[in-house]
Chains A and B, each alone.
Chain A
Amino acid sequence: MEKLLAVYVDHIDVWLPEMLFFSITTLEIAIVSFVLAVAIGLVLVMLRVSKISPLVTLAILIIEVARGLPIVVLLYIVYFVPPQLVSGWNWSWYNAFVGAVLGLGIHGGAILAEVFRAGIEALHKGQREAALSLGMTPAKSMRYILVPQAARIVLPPVANYGIGLLKETSLCSLIGVNELMNDAKSIAFADYEPMAVFLLAAAIYFAMSYPLALILRHVEKRLNFSR
């Protein structure tokens, strides 16, 4: 224990600023892939509930495959396969960051599509009819009646997914994105202090995700129908 403290005393002034700097990349990956996942999830769920059978099949296929693969495998495929498949193009823009957010975005989109579907299916058909019978257009019934109800069902799992995503970004180190985990690995092996470095990385991940989890718990309580 004392030895560990001594290590931190020696190195923290270098390690911490550097790791915090790379935590920014971690946050960037998380935010961009979260937005992407929500967008992809919305598109997939629209296909999924479209009642147009080829589109439904396509959506199910994408959802099942993307959810069925280990995230790391998906990341490798998304990052390495397209440039090899279409070799004529200029792929210089397709760096590890882009591959990472695409891979996480597709995986998250598949997860969120199912979450959104649960939200849609929980809506009672009578709700829409009640809204229409009061003179609302379908668009207004969506906006004022259906979406707010679905949001109450969908928001907690979506937020949970977002918090989980923050931790999953560490997998992106495997395709070479320079984020917190990758930086921790390189420091750990450069300074021969894996335990101290990885514990510090763990603390930073925890410090980023735990407050979010607390906020979520608080919001969830307030989202209940009857206050």
Chain B
Amino acid sequence: MEPLLKVDDLHKAYGALKILNGVSVNVKRGEKVSIIGPSGSGKTTFLRCINFLEKPTSGHIFVEGKLIGEKTVSGKFVHVSDTELAKDRQEIGFVFQRFNLFPHLSVLGNVTIAQTKVLGLSQRDAEARGRQMLEKVGLGHKVDEYPERLSGGQQQRVAIARVLAMQPKLILFDEATSALDPELIGEVLRVMRQLAEEGRTMVIVTHEIQFAAEISDRIIFMDHGAVVEEGSPAKVLKDPQHPRTREFLKRIEQR
């Protein structure tokens, strides 16, 4: 079966500085893939390339077989227009480390704005769906609050609701809990676990190894902009084959 997400030989460099050196990853529909690796190994860059927040230097992204951010014109790959790129991005939800809620909009405004302005839903329908998503993340009682009055954990849950309201085919999480105080991490992980159980397709960059082990179908260990090792959590975490993986896991355990 065709993978939902296909990342084909992705390279990314900033000038002479190479960040990604040929990453190829396939993700099946409903699959949960966690990416772990040392700081600076290119995990964030990898996620950002998937929805073209960064333009890959080379390589291609496909969602359900359709090219993201590019099209082929007489056999050559060319970048698409802003409008087409925006359309491609609708399929791909992105949860940021720092939440990035819109401070000038209420919680409900945050989860409705893209529904109305991008999907073209009526205000009423958008609010209905928005409330439903906020219920789901346990924030149904905060619809009229403004982001600055919420805790970090609540903000991140609103950010997740905002993504869910767009009904993406795939959700990317970039260290969704690392900006949070320890006591707030649990509430966000709980929501992510719930999404995983619903069978959503998720690519998760995380330092929460235990969490990754529990919810992932597959773990990818990245280092120096390349996939070093991948496989089931049991295999990669309990019986790592590559010395760099072993060293990384040992370092994390010691913390």
Query: Which positions in A face B, CB cutoff 8 Å?
Result: 124, 126-127, 129-140, 144-145, 148-149, 152, 225-227
Contacts and interface: CB of A to CB of B under 8 A. Distances in A.
B34 interface: no
B118 A133 contact: no
B112 to A, nearest CB: 11
Size class of B's contact patch?
A: 20 to 34
Interface in B71-113: 82-83, 85-87, 89-90, 92-94, 96, 98, 100-104, 113
Given A135-B166, A144-B117, A152 B86 contact: no
A139 B163 CA distance: 20
B149 A137 contact: no
A149 B104 contact: yes
A149 B104 CA distance: 6
B92 A133 contact: yes
A211 to B, nearest CB: 28
A133 B51 contact: yes
Nearest to B149: A226
B23 interface: no
Contacts of A140: 86, 117-118
A132 B53 contact: yes
Contact of B89 (A124, A132, A144, A227): A132
Given A129-B53, A130-B102, A136-B114, A226 B148 contact: yes
By secondary structure, the A interface counts as: helix
Given A130-B102, A140-B117, A225-B103, A135 B89 contact: yes
Contacts of B90: 134-135
B148 A134 contact: no
B162 interface: yes
21 contacts: A126-B96, A127-B102, A129-B53, A130-B159, A131-B114, A132-B86, A133-B89, A134-B163, A135-B86, A135-B90, A135-B114, A135-B119, A136-B117, A137-B85, A137-B86, A140-B117, A140-B118, A225-B103, A225-B146, A226-B145, A226-B148
B100 A149 contact: no
A226 B146 contact: yes
A124 B100 contact: yes
B87 A129 contact: no
A129 to B, nearest CB: 6
A135 B163 CA distance: 10
Contact of A134 (B85, B104, B146, B166): B166
B162 A127 contact: no
Contacts of A227: 146
Contacts of A127: 100, 102
Given A135-B118, A137-B86, A140-B117, 17 more contacts: A124-B100, A129-B94, A129-B96, A130-B100, A130-B102, A131-B114, A133-B51, A134-B113, A134-B114, A134-B118, A135-B90, A135-B119, A136-B86, A136-B114, A140-B86, A145-B113, A225-B104
